[in-house]
Structures are given as C-alpha cells and as structure tokens.
Amino acid sequence: MQQISYDLRNLQVLIVDDSAYMRKLLKAILRGLGIINVREASDGADALQHLRTFSADFVVVDWRMEPVDGLTFVPLLRTAKDSPNRGVPIIMMTGHTEQDNVEAARTAGVNDFLAKPISALTIYQRIIRLVERGQPATA
C-alpha cells in the first residue's frame, strides 16, 4: 500500500490554551511537522480577536480554560454574527474524553478530538484526517 505524503508547510494554525507550556509544546510539535505559521491565544476571547486578522486553516483548542473555555468558544465562533470564520475546522484537546463530553463538544461544532496526553503522532493523525476530509483545503 502506497503512503500519501502531505506538505503541511502552508497551513496556518491557531493554538488556544491557557497554559503557556501547552502552547509552547504544541507549537514545537507543529513546527516539527513542518507547519511554520502558528499563532497562539490564551483563551477563547483572545482566539476570536486573533481570528479577525489571522486566516487559520484550523484551530487547536483546549476544553478547560479560564476565563473563556473551549466549549464556550466553539459555539461563539460557529454562530456569532460577527464571527471571523464560522467554518474553520476545530480540534479540541481534552483530558476528559467521556462520551458525554465528546457529544457536547461535537454538538458545539468541534470537528475532531485530541486526548491528553498528546503526542506528535496523534496530532499528525488529526491534521491528516482534516486534510483528507478536505478541511483545510490548502494542504
């Protein structure tokens, strides 16, 4: 079976997490995968501001953040009249992968999940899954 190779260099990614350590870790992993254009936001409100000027191909967002958590941010992004990008694919990171949480996040508009602890392989797999679904279109 032939393995397809993807050039991820042109992807633009927004990381949303209130932990500076997690943002730094994710950014390093994404850069290791060849993704150079990575921006960071510390919560959902900060992310909405970034998305007004940054055309992200996808967003990686943590569930539990203060003051605006991921589960509040996602429906705001998906439905607000002044939303900068309602259709941007969203990967939610969480250590709480119980079925009820997954269903709540999917209902809110999350495209995929990343269970903590994270690894470069699982991040790559989620990105490729988005690419193969045609989201984002630039890969």
The model carries a pTM of 0.91
Per the domain annotation, does 138 fall within a domain?
no
The predicted structure's pLDDT at residue 131: 87
**CATH number for position 45:** 3.40.50.2300
Location of structure tokens 């470069």: 120
Per-residue pLDDT tens over the stretch 67-77? 888 999 999 99
At 99, is the pLDDT very low, low, confident or very high (cuts 50, 70, 90)? Answer: confident
Q: Pairing mode, if any, of strands 112-115 and 90-94?
A: parallel
Per the domain annotation, does 2 fall within a domain?
no
Structural domain count, the chain: 1
Report cis status (omega within 30 of 0) of the bond before 136: yes
**What is the rounded average pLDDT of the residues 26-51?**
95
**What is the rounded average pLDDT of the residues 114-132?**
92
Do the Cβ atoms of 27 and 39 come closer than 8 Å? no
**Number of other CB atoms surrounding residue 26 within 10 Å:** 23
**Number of other CB atoms surrounding residue 138 within 10 Å:** 12
The burial class, CB within 10 Å (0-12 / 13-18 / 19+), for 103 is: exposed
Domain that holds residue 128: 15-132
At 139, is the pLDDT very low, low, confident or very high (cuts 50, 70, 90)? Answer: very low
Asked if residue 33 has pLDDT above 80, the reply is yes
**What is the rounded average pLDDT of the residues 30-48?**
95
The predicted structure's pLDDT at residue 53: 94
Residues 134 and 128: their CA atoms lie apart, in Å, by 10
* Strands (E) located in the chain: 12-16, 37-41, 58-62, 90-94, 112-115
Per the domain annotation, does 139 fall within a domain?
no
Per the domain annotation, does 6 fall within a domain?
no
